[in-house]
Chains A and B, each alone.
Chain A
């Protein structure tokens, strides 16, 4: 059974009439790494938000299912409990909220069978910090408050490492990272990759795909996936851009 199955998904922004996704089909199996590429405004981030359950969008037709369960009417937290994780393009700041306290609550909610005490969680937290070469003092900071762009992206991957999802959607995790930070983050993601985890990488650039090898590459233009292929497709895009695909259409 595929982990994520999206069939002919059409989505619009609530209160507006504008359709953003115009019939998306996508299937991700456990252990697969998919890359979703496409020009600005093609609907990639919308797709990520819709999978995670953002209330701003409404599905007008089609379906999303995860592990055989229909997601359409499920709240974002219930999706997280099933194992869906979204690494945000623009992580939100929450002043005064300790990142460690927040993550422990999130972990214990999404792992009701393996709840951790504050002490045990702290151990786990420190291990994951090490994995991403982040300083131990990080645990004392407030969630994303005053983080640099790079710290925010690292913090997202840290959350992924701790929550151990079965589907990770990485929405432009590479943008805003310098080359060293990108290497660390990519290495972290590779360490987390396992036969049960499906990954969807959303990116403008092929750069990150040099470190994380996708099994499939999809090109989204104007709310539709118009071409799918293997990692060679990404190299073609790098050389030729998207224009040739748009013209062909």
Chain B
């Protein structure tokens, strides 16, 4: 049965059951707005088991009750009734290359991205890599027992695994946006690494075929069994065009004893997007979690990847880099909650604001009484490129135990006339000098990125210093 026919039938059934209050809007291909009915329809369209529907419905109620957070960026521009909550993949993409905004097309051309890839990035095409590449990876993964698929497929094929872990790391009630995501999620990745398996190539959401295009309400779940290793890479440095103005994702990761997970994100949403993401990891004994988080795009990003260090000697590193240009606010940072002795954490945040942009570092380190021999180091550096731009720092250190080793450094720098003059006196133009200073500033984080990302990041910085990226 086609989706349209399915939906029609569902509505008829629902009508008969008198389930639909009259004041609720229909969900149809071009429908907007959120209600309990919309949540039910999403679950129905996906043929989900009842337990998932119940999770969604409870989360929806939580979403309604939770207040909009007022401590961070300005969220008043979000109109929940003006958004689409479920669209078939074909509805999400710009149907014609000509519909993609010119500034984004120009940037792609300047970056030298082939048109096939450009079309993938803007969603004109569902995929850009050849199937052959994907299939060889798929075979390789199958052989070692790795599961890497989209969440909707995972729910169908591995319902027990999903049921066991879904929403255990990030409960729906954590915040308003985790509740919203839990109620209406679609797409995202599911990754399962069996005990002792080390995946020696990065898993990239990029290569995942037949998956829905990076959606508004992605839900990602990664389970790394004891002694395993995986590097998961999400996003891309090239600007990603989104027709919808809200990206509200949840990422849950479990790092079992002695396992290690690295999760790299480079986000470059178009500048109309509210990017509100909850990312959290539970790390057990001697496990290691590494978040590498880059934020270039969006109108407002609020994202604080977290590590809950729950077993002795668990380790968590959070590296965060953010750029805010005209009309942008990057509110980012990280959280480390030490729940076991001898755990260690590092949070390194670098932010650059220019042309009226605003960056905020918001971080938390928590050590309850009795959790001894904890090490934590927080470094947050901000670079402000002109007098119109702004940066703020809100570090919270909640340390209730004395047998700990905690370090915290913060700096706010301006690119000085002397630095620019020095570099220019050697022949560099002002924009070249500026981009070298900025590249140098973020170098400690850029070197942790996959090399192609680091290269592209530097090219983007250069372009944006020339003022040629929209």
- Asked whether, in the complex, the Cβ of A106 is within 8 Å of the Cβ of B427, the reply is yes
The answer to whether the Cβ of B439 comes within 8 Å of any Cβ in the partner chain is: yes
Q: Report, as a range, how many residues of chain B touch the other chain.
A: 20 to 34
**Interface assignment of B450: CB less than 8 Å from any CB of chain A:** no
Q: Is the CB of A97 within 8 A of B440?
A: yes
* B423 adjacent to A102 (CB under 8 Å): yes
Q: A55-B421, A76-B421 are in contact. Are A95 and B441 (CB under 8 A)?
A: yes
CA A75 to CA B431, docked complex, whole Å: 13
The secondary structure that dominates the B interface is helix
Judged by a CB distance under 8 angstroms, whether B99 is at the interface is: no
B432 interface contact, C-beta 8 A:
yes
How many inter-chain residue pairs (CB < 8 Å) link A and B? 82
**Separation of A86 and B440 alpha carbons in the complex (Å):** 23
Query: In the docked arrangement, what's the CA distance between A222 and B421, Å?
Result: 25
Contact for B417 among A56, A77, A85, CB less than 8 A: A56
A46 to chain B, nearest CB (A): 13
A5 at interface, CB cutoff 8 A:
no
Within the complex, what minimum Cβ distance (angstroms) separates B71 from chain A?
A: 31
> B421, B426, B443: which has the most chain A beta carbons within 10 Å?
B426
Residue in A79, A88, A105, A159 with the greatest tally of chain B CB atoms within 10 Å: A105
* Contact status of A102 and B427, CB under 8 A, knowing A56-B417, A88-B422, A92-B422: no
- Report whether A96 and B418 are in contact in the complex, using a CB–CB cutoff of 8 Å: no
Instruction: Let me know if A163 and B426 touch, CB within 8 A.
Output: yes
Query: How large, as a class, is the contact surface on chain A?
Result: 20 to 34
Residues of B within 8 A of A97 (CB): 436-437, 439-440, 443
B68 part of interface (Cβ distance < 8 Å): no
Note all chain A residues with C-beta closer than 8 A to B419.
Answer: 92, 94
Closest CB in chain B relative to A64 CB, distance in Å:
15
Residue A42 at the B interface, CB < 8 A?
A: no
Q: Is A94 a contact partner of B436 (Cβ separation < 8 A)? A: yes
**Are B423's CB and A94's CB within 8 A?**
yes
Given the complex of chains A and B, what is the CA–CA distance between A43 and B418 in angstroms? Answer: 18
* A90 nearest CB neighbor, chain B only: B418
Extra inter-chain contacts (17) besides given A97-B437, A103-B426, A106-B426, CB under 8 Å: A52-B421, A54-B421, A55-B417, A76-B424, A76-B425, A77-B425, A77-B427, A77-B433, A86-B425, A91-B422, A92-B422, A94-B436, A94-B440, A97-B440, A109-B429, A142-B443, A159-B426
A-B contact pairs, 19 of them (CB 8 A): A52-B421, A53-B421, A53-B425, A54-B421, A77-B424, A77-B425, A79-B425, A80-B424, A80-B426, A81-B427, A85-B426, A94-B419, A94-B423, A94-B437, A97-B440, A105-B428, A107-B427, A109-B428, A143-B440
Q: A residues touching B (Cβ–Cβ < 8 Å)? A: 52-56, 75-77, 79-81, 85-86, 88, 91-92, 94-97, 102-103, 105-107, 109-110, 142-143, 159, 163
